[in-house]
Amino acid sequence: MGETLLTETVSETSSDGSEAGETLLEREALHNIRELIRIDSVNTGDLRTIGDGEARAARLVQAALAEVGLESEFIESTPGRGNVVARLRGAGPDGGAPERGALVVHAHLDVVPVDGQDWRHPPFGAEIHDGLLYGRGAVDMKNFAGVLVAVARSFAREGFVPPRDLVFAFFADEEAGGVWGAKWLVEHRPDLFEGATEALSEVGGFSVPIPAAAAASERSEAPDAGAATVRHRRAYLVATAEKGVAWARVTARGRPGHGSRPTTDNPVVRIGRAVAAIGDHRFPFTRTPALETFLERFGEARGLAFPDAAADVEAELAELGFTGSLLGAGARDTASPTVLDAGSKTNVIPGVATASLDLRVLPGHEETFVDELRAVIGPDVELEVSTWIAPIASPVDAPIVSAMQQAIEADDPEGLVVPYLLPASTDNKHLSRLGIAGYGFVPLRVPDGFDVFGQFHTADEHIPVDALAFSARVTERLLRLA
């Protein structure tokens, strides 16, 4: 196929020297990421239109691991949908069994479509311009796949035995719910994750600025305020929880009739009222453990505590720009009406009208959310919840979070790891069914104004090349410690 992760790695240097990383680990990581981006593994969500991109990417990963003697299993859940899983055995301090359960480090090999988007640089070109790598998957998430391959190869070359088993997993189909990827493997091949207690993947690990609060900078100018010197200038967000997702349908029924003779129970009017009520409703601001810890640590670092009142917290979050909007989205349940369906002819009052809802639910609200929604829409429409993927939450003070802090600090002494709640979903939800606690942490140090989350699924998806080198170094360190 002309696709190789390996032999070109050490020597390949583009004309502008952009692949000339400092170390073999960094050079290989960048090389792998570019090779993976060059494989079009777009997931349309439709088996009829998906090619074999994921399988080719998976084979590429497998070949790279095999070259350094790492055995892996290639699993095609259905033709073209490739997954690869490898286990690096760990040992305890005395050389016996590891003291901790296995850690699953995973990345998905599929990407979202690029159709209808205006790209300045080719989405599968992996071109580097002005120190930025462009391409679909540059942040979501061929970057981490490439880093994981480089780290696994580095460990294998060194003969390093980690303190716990490391399961390197590369999944298909994350972007369409993991049906042929993580979900499939959890259901059909749970043995691959045997003994695993934690998992590490997207979405988190990127740096965001910690703006010094005005009051804090005044304090630090006071003559006796030497101790108030700001120690942390950047936060690295780690997703310790994810919102759940549900789909629902609201149905209004009434007596059909002629448009010339209005009725009091016209279902179109009733569905309209229900949809408007949902649109007007704001679910309560909720301080989940992830948000609570974020407010505490981030507030401490910027030298100004967040207020107690929900409205004031939200006002302050709004001032944090993209960081605040990400945090704000994880502070409330939401219900968005997305599809309306009623009637077929202008002079006919239909007997039924429906609306579809996209629901996002916080951990801890699984039991109460539907009742609350029912109260909002009122008694004269029906509510039916179809798909339901429960939210997940992992301990915020786990040793692995301390290991992240250590791994970051070694490279960025001004970095502070801070938990947050991801308002979206990842493959960690599937792994949680096996009792595996998931964390979103793909370390990336980026300039202050760079919104990594904002790069997901957009045109001209890109990432600074030096952030990828950072990613490789910190991930390698973290997997040694974790």
Contact 211, 344 (CB under 8 A): no
Q: Please measure the distance between the N-terminal and C-terminal CA atoms of the chain and give it in whole angstroms.
A: 36
Considering only residues 231 through 290, tell me which ones interact with Zn ion, judged by CB under 5 A.
Answer: none
DSSP assignments along 276-315, one per residue: HHHHH--PPP---HHHHHHHHHHHHHHTSPPPSSHHHHHH
Q: Which residues is 257 bridged to in the sheet? A: 349
Residue 45 neighbours by CB distance under 10 Å: 15
* Shorter beta-carbon distance to Zn ion: residue 112 or 396: 112
* Shorter beta-carbon distance to Zn ion: residue 170 or 306: 170
In the complex, minimum distance from the CB of residue 108 to Zn ion, in angstroms, rounded to a whole number: 6
In the complex, minimum distance from the CB of residue 461 to Zn ion, in angstroms, rounded to a whole number: 11
Q: Segment near Zn ion (CB under 5 A), from 137-145, 247-255, 308-316, 358-366?
A: 137-145
Tell me the residue number closest to Zn ion, measured at CB.
140
Q: Indicate which single residue of 140, 198, 333, 476 sits in contact with Zn ion (rule: CB under 5 A).
A: 140
In the complex, minimum distance from the CB of residue 373 to Zn ion, in angstroms, rounded to a whole number: 28
Contact 87, 164 (CB under 8 A): no
Radius of gyration of the chain (CA): 25
Considering only residues 150 through 169, tell me which ones interact with Zn ion, judged by CB under 5 A.
Answer: none
* Nearest residue to 46 via CA among 177, 171, 230, 146: 177
In the complex, minimum distance from the CB of residue 168 to Zn ion, in angstroms, rounded to a whole number: 17
- Dihedral of the alpha carbons of 174, 179, 185, 190, in degrees to the nearest 10: 110
Applying CB under 5 A, does 427 fall inside the site for Zn ion?
no
Tell me the per-residue interface mask from 189 to 208 with Zn ion, x by CB under 5 A, - otherwise.
-------------x------
* Nearest residue to 122 via CA among 461, 386, 406, 444: 461
Q: Segment near Zn ion (CB under 5 A), from 91-99, 138-146, 329-337, 374-382?
A: 138-146
* Shorter beta-carbon distance to Zn ion: residue 19 or 202: 202
In the complex, minimum distance from the CB of residue 432 to Zn ion, in angstroms, rounded to a whole number: 16
Number of residues that bind Zn ion (CB under 5 A): 3
In the complex, minimum distance from the CB of residue 47 to Zn ion, in angstroms, rounded to a whole number: 20
* Shorter beta-carbon distance to Zn ion: residue 176 or 390: 176
* Shorter beta-carbon distance to Zn ion: residue 236 or 298: 236
In the complex, minimum distance from the CB of residue 61 to Zn ion, in angstroms, rounded to a whole number: 16
Could you give the C-alpha distances from 186 to 171, 386, 438, in angstroms and in order? 11, 22, 14
Applying CB under 5 A, does 141 fall inside the site for Zn ion?
yes
375 vs 272: CA distance, rounded Å: 16
In the complex, minimum distance from the CB of residue 151 to Zn ion, in angstroms, rounded to a whole number: 19
Q: Segment near Zn ion (CB under 5 A), from 79-87, 132-140, 152-160, 474-482?
A: 132-140
* Shorter beta-carbon distance to Zn ion: residue 170 or 369: 170
DSSP assignments along 82-139, one per residue: EEEEEEE----TTSSS-SS-EEEEEEE--B---TT---SS-TTT--EETTEEESTTTT
Q: Segment near Zn ion (CB under 5 A), from 77-85, 141-149, 251-259, 338-346?
A: 141-149
Could you give the C-alpha distances from 179 to 171, 184, 226, 411, 475, in angstroms and in order? 10, 6, 56, 37, 28
457 vs 271: CA distance, rounded Å: 32
In the complex, minimum distance from the CB of residue 80 to Zn ion, in angstroms, rounded to a whole number: 19
* Shorter beta-carbon distance to Zn ion: residue 140 or 466: 140
Contact 302, 211 (CB under 8 A): yes
In the complex, minimum distance from the CB of residue 277 to Zn ion, in angstroms, rounded to a whole number: 34
Applying CB under 5 A, does 182 fall inside the site for Zn ion?
no
* Shorter beta-carbon distance to Zn ion: residue 236 or 306: 236
* Shorter beta-carbon distance to Zn ion: residue 32 or 266: 32
* Shorter beta-carbon distance to Zn ion: residue 239 or 248: 239
Q: Segment near Zn ion (CB under 5 A), from 134-142, 150-158, 224-232, 346-354?
A: 134-142
Residue 383 neighbours by CB distance under 10 Å: 17
353 vs 305: CA distance, rounded Å: 49
* Nearest residue to 171 via CA among 262, 84, 89: 84
DSSP assignments along 320-345, one per residue: TTHHHHHHHHTSS-EEEEEEEEE-SS
Q: What residues line the site for Zn ion (CB under 5 A)?
A: 140-141, 202
